A and B are shown apart, each in its own frame.
Chain A
């Protein structure tokens, strides 16, 4: 007799003597023994091909069951595990944002940089420049004689390059028809979730300098 058969025989002989124990329902009174017993334990439906109990089966047979009820259970259990992995990924991402924020703080304030001169920028004209890094495209706009505006050129939706329209007073993103107010940089239509980052400007004589970036959420 094999080990598993012996163990199963022993476990069936160990019946709890109390009235309400799982294997004694209906055994103590006049009621027929099967009156309170479940009609059929669903666990008994699964019979592996070699006839041995489930807990003696290899792991692969437990992970790929041959009957639908067990397959439904396994599928939902694995989906729950996948969702927990997704939960871990979100938590890691959340802390990654915190680490990125620390690095951004350590970089300190952006440098002062000359981005153009008044003489080369006519009223109603625009100029592109890069600030604070070499990959940060920005636009400089001169809507009137005494007014200068500068914003990041990356749309806050998906970083497409935005195009200013001075006559209409808007900055438009051609990718998904996002619109920003020319005077404030605020998002006024379309999918962009935030205003355009504003570049702080200083004019010294004829030269225009960028001195900082103002990020905004509203």
Chain B
């Protein structure tokens, strides 16, 4: 009998992967728009001489990048599992 640990993972079908990528795109788009807003607001503050928001905004933008990179990594992962 095969044990559950060696049971082959069922790969996503192409339709499932397309659904997954639509969900991913929705998240990534929201995060990128948030980063765009952060960037314009920070630039406005910097040009106006307000330094208080610069580094917190940079950290928030880095977090958004981390989330996006994680989602992209998952995308590569499901393509690898498919083989």
Q: A: which residues have CB within 8 A of B?
A: 14, 16-18, 21-22, 41-43, 55, 69-70, 72-73, 76-77, 79-81, 83-84, 86-88, 90-91, 93-95, 97-98, 100-101, 156, 193-194, 197, 214-218
How many residues on B have C-beta within 8 angstroms of the other chain's C-beta atoms?
46
CB of A32 to closest CB in B, whole Å? 22
Inter-chain contact B2/A18, CB cutoff 8 Å? yes
Which among B18, B51, B75 is the interface contact of A69 at CB below 8 angstroms?
B18
Return the chain B residue nearest A14 by Cβ: B8
* Contact residues in A for B24 (Cβ distance below 8 Å): 80
Known: A41-B13, A42-B15, A83-B25. A216 touches B36 (CB 8 A): no
Inter-chain contact A76/B22, CB cutoff 8 Å? yes
Known: A91-B65, A216-B49. A42 touches B14 (CB 8 A): yes
Tell me the chain B residues, 28-69 only, with Cβ under 8 Å from chain A: 28-29, 31-32, 35-36, 38-39, 42-51, 54-55, 57-58, 61-62, 64-65, 68-69
Query: In the bound complex, what is the Cα–Cα distance between A95 and B46 (angstroms)?
Result: 12
Query: In the bound complex, what is the Cα–Cα distance between A156 and B39 (angstroms)?
Result: 17
Query: In the bound complex, what is the Cα–Cα distance between A218 and B49 (angstroms)?
Result: 11
Which among A18, A69, A84, A97 is the interface contact of B46 at CB below 8 angstroms?
A97
* Contact residues in A for B32 (Cβ distance below 8 Å): 83, 86-87, 90
| Given pairs A83-B68, A94-B58, A101-B54, 16 additional interface contacts (CB within 8 A) | A17-B1, A18-B1, A80-B24, A80-B25, A80-B72, A83-B25, A83-B28, A87-B32, A88-B65, A90-B39, A90-B64, A91-B62, A94-B38, A193-B44, A214-B49, A218-B48
